[in-house]
Structure 1
């Protein structure tokens, strides 16, 4: 299925594509005509979906296992679109992890190390190698788009979530710096700030007393969690040529959540 759609003719890389927002974005990108490389450290959770996508989209979808905190894995993921389809147009650097809400004074250093490795080093490496792959493509980067997944936590603080908040503010900064550095190549860089979304990353942060989805929905004015597809729709827009005059933007998808 190619030749029609908002991403027709585009080649995309999506990290953290094995579940949640990344998997939802993969489905949207493919449906809109893109060829997509799915990258994740664990694709087992998406095995059933992967088989269905492969059956439906044939050679327009391929998979690679990799750790976004390891440069050799990131480089391999970013080079695969060039090797398979001759170019890279879109990189959705979505992979991320969270941690259980816990007081700053009792948070172990290992928690911070893991969060920064995946959530900050990951997109830093992803931007480095995806931009290089875009510039090495026949279009030399012109018309390309990098989309980063930050968080509503990058718009304000959150108690008992210090490591995660720090990492997502950093992602926002990476997006702003990348927009300035890669504009001369024609590469746009924008950042999405999802609010409370029904994903494993979100629920991994919730202690036992917060497992009630109705209660969690009170975090925003719409009184519910986002479906991953709702966030993926915004990512699709930023990846497409419809957002051709957007770079350095931070786009909140948080149902009116504001700091208190």
Structure 2
């Protein structure tokens, strides 16, 4: 196996792994030798993903996790340590969107939900992942932000608010823990054909959304996960504090 994509023996924890990026990343890491602890608020879904991965012979544990609860995030890391002895990779992927609406119609309940899951959920994950990585003397964390985290997002202001906060957490963590050999980066996808998009946008809406990209289409999950693998690669040892846009050219405009 190419050393760039060899994760043999690495222990990864991934939130939001019942579908979308989390599910596909878990499958790809397992193919490359990683041991996994995967979680989702959808326990039935994440157990099914784990069963499929385990059938390939990979080591995987699935558990329910509400990332808005600190104790759930702590338990996930503790499970990895108890079963595999360490945490090499933390992927804070779980997140939620909200219905498209203008900023002046966003109420407090929407902002509270966005902050609880998309911001606190990332910080809780980082908190416990970093504590273990400090003991190990190394580790890599990847947070899932969005193009809405590095630009404006018309009719998605609360989501943009939260995803901008993920960028702040990522850059600050990279500065604080770089000397400890802990790399912390974020990925910022444009609209991608995961359930988060397809559940909110019908075919006509997706066509309109795709016109915002010079490549004139939405992203495919496998395209985003390919970059996630590169960012997490054990050979990628000098990259930290970066927020990488995978956007079909949107940010070049």
TM-score grouping bracket, smaller chain normalisation: over 0.9
CA contact (8 A) 1:4 1:32 kept: no
Deviation at 1:252, TM superposition (A): 0.7
1:224 to 191, 203, 217: 217
After the TM superposition, which residues 81-100 of structure 1 pair with which residues of structure 2 at under 5 Å, given as runs? 81-100=80-99
The CA distance in 2 between the partners of 1:202 and 1:195, in whole Å, is: 10
2:169 to 171, 174, 187: 174
2:62 corresponds in structure 1 to 63
The CA distance in 1 between the partners of 2:225 and 2:90, in whole Å, is: 13
After the TM superposition, which residues 109-258 of structure 1 pair with which residues of structure 2 at under 5 Å, given as runs? 109-136=108-135, 140-142=136-138, 144-206=139-201, 211-258=204-251
Residue range with higher mean Cα deviation, 170-179 or 214-223: 214-223
The CA distance in 1 between the partners of 2:47 and 2:207, in whole Å, is: 30
Query: Structure 1's 124 and 237: CA in aligned 2 closer, same or farther, altered over 3 A?
Result: same
Q: CA RMSD in A?
A: 1.9
Runs (4+) of structure 1 exceeding 6 A deviation are none
Deviation at 1:46, TM superposition (A): 4.6
Give unmatched runs, 5+ long, in structure 1.
none
Q: Which TM-score applies when normalising by structure 2?
A: 0.93
CA contact (8 A) 2:46 2:63 kept: no
The CA distance in 2 between the partners of 1:79 and 1:47, in whole Å, is: 18
Deviation at 1:220, TM superposition (A): 0.9
Number of equivalenced pairs: 251
Give unmatched runs, 5+ long, in structure 2.
none
